[in-house]
Amino acid sequence: MLWGGEDEGAPGHRSYQPLDCKRYANSSKRTTVRARSVVVAVLLCSSIGLSPPQAAAEDWGEEARREMVETIRAIATEVGPIGGRSVISETVLEAMAAVPRHRFVPDEIERMAYQDRPLPIGYGQTISQPYFVALMTDILNLQGDETVLEVGTGSGYQAAVCGRLAARTYTMEIVPELATRSANTLTELGFHTVVVRQGDGYYGWPEHAPFDAIIVTAAASHVPPPLIDQLKPGGRMVSRSAGLSLFSSCCASTRRPTAPSAPDNCCRSASYR
């Protein structure tokens, strides 16, 4: 049954004005068009396995990741060569564009996830700014067949990026709650080649050594000797340490085959403010 607009009546009672059929016919056409549009949208979302809210979220994330990648390109151009790399490789940028960074931050700051800045993830830890994630990953020069060790899982975002570029990624986090959360997030997103372990990364993960590449995302004053021992000859290690003032330093080392007990002495390093 069709009714017109509501009119005021006695308390607890509704009376109705007569329906303007001509006006309704015009509005009905518009409503039908809108309804058809909604149906088409729902069918489209269903065909790719998404509900309408999920589809909207995915669209937002994709656009935000594209903007993030362009920001990384601009910063790389401004800063210039670091770690022997003049630009961030397209392979790394494609990985950054594919990983939903907003899934690795608390819900209340989800919309800030793609800004080029570190964000708090709880327990006194942060997720690194996208530029530094891209830079450190790029310096590792991953080709797709490597086994990687990451020290300092944090949110799990860096491990996810490495997971798209390497054959296997092992990552260690000393904070139990973060280790559990990051492992759950990585599993939910299908990163089955990334393995999380709760523990002190200073001593590495000898059961899976030697590693083709090691990335130390947790700030450290020096490179732990056990990590050097677990790096393959010719392997690459990139580490990050807190510098003075607002500076952060990034140091890349290559282990010499002729001197397996020690890497090159910070052969390429740079600072970005």
For residue 122, what are the β-bridge partners? 125
Non-local (6+) Cβ contacts of 235 within 8 A are: 210, 211, 212, 213, 214, 254, 255
For residue 155, the SS3 value is coil
- Which candidate in 86, 128, 239, 253 is catalytic? 128
CA end-to-end span of the chain: 68
Q: From 131, 157, 165, 153, select the one nearest 236 (Cα to Cα).
A: 165
User: What gap in Å lies between CA 103 and CA 195, rounded to an integer?
Assistant: 18
User: What gap in Å lies between CA 87 and CA 36, rounded to an integer?
Assistant: 47
User: What gap in Å lies between CA 229 and CA 20, rounded to an integer?
Assistant: 84
The answer to whether 106 and 157 are in contact (CB under 8 A) is: no
* 128 included as an active-site residue: yes
Residues marked active site are found at 128
